[in-house]
Amino acid sequence: MIHQLSFRLHQGYAPSRAWLGLLLIVLLAGCASQAPGPNQARERDAWSTQVERLRALESWSLAGKVGLRTNEGSESANIDWQQRPDTYRILISGPFGAGRTLMRGGPEKVTLNSSEGHFEAQTPEALMEQQLGWSLPISALDYWVRGLPAPEASKRLKHDDLGFPQRLQQFGWTIEYRDWTRADDLWLPRRLVMTYGDLRATLVITQWDPMTDS
């Protein structure tokens, strides 16, 4: 079930650099082996012919760089995200002070390991609420990164002249799709900019492996 967004920063709370790393992990939660294909011209209606395949895609991986900007400043790091039907693994490495932050999730619990310790919760949302005092619609994120709105939730979606998603508004967030790439005969987002109030997260994907059966 997709959790509604709750953005409740504690009064006077300023997140540490390590917790900015946690924020980025959970913001993008839900190893890549294949680089995006060379730039190709997108064709009109190419999106509509593949959208059902994207909705059915349950196993994929990506790698890239993620940047976060808040009123407290800006940070960037590398991301390595493996998604499977019932589990996921997300590794954030780079600045953030903590160096490496690893999150693993499954049906029963979510675990987080960083330089600040080991943490567990039943859901990513609960982990954020526990450590940061606020939570995000985590279940929507693995849809957004594929260019899809989360199902069974209100949305506003604008398409570009070729029929590809251009701007998605859902759960109070605005997701802008700035660039696309080709992998395993699928068009997938290469650059996304996600904003919520003063929070801005940019994901640039350098490797996509959709793990399709075709």
Q: How far apart are CA 70 and CA 30, in angstroms?
A: 22
Give the chain's domain count: 1
DSSP per-residue string spanning 137-199: -HHHHHHHTTT-PPTTS--EEEE-TTS-EEEEEETTEEEEEEEEEEETTEEEEEEEEEEETTE
1 in any annotated domain: no
Q: Determine contact, residues 79/86, Cβ cutoff 8 Å.
A: no
What's the CATH number where 123 sits? 2.50.20.10
The string of pLDDT tens digits covering residues 61-111 is: 999 998 888 888 888 888 899 999 989 898 888 764 457 888 898 888 988
State what percent of residues in the chain have pLDDT above 70.
Answer: 72
Tokens 């997701």 appear where? 175
63 in any annotated domain: yes
Mean pLDDT of 10-24: 50
8 in any annotated domain: no
Mean pLDDT of 11-29: 52
The string of pLDDT tens digits covering residues 132-146 is: 555 556 678 889 999
**Average pLDDT score over the chain:** 79
User: Which structural domain, as residue segments, surrounds residue 26?
Assistant: 17-209
5 in any annotated domain: no
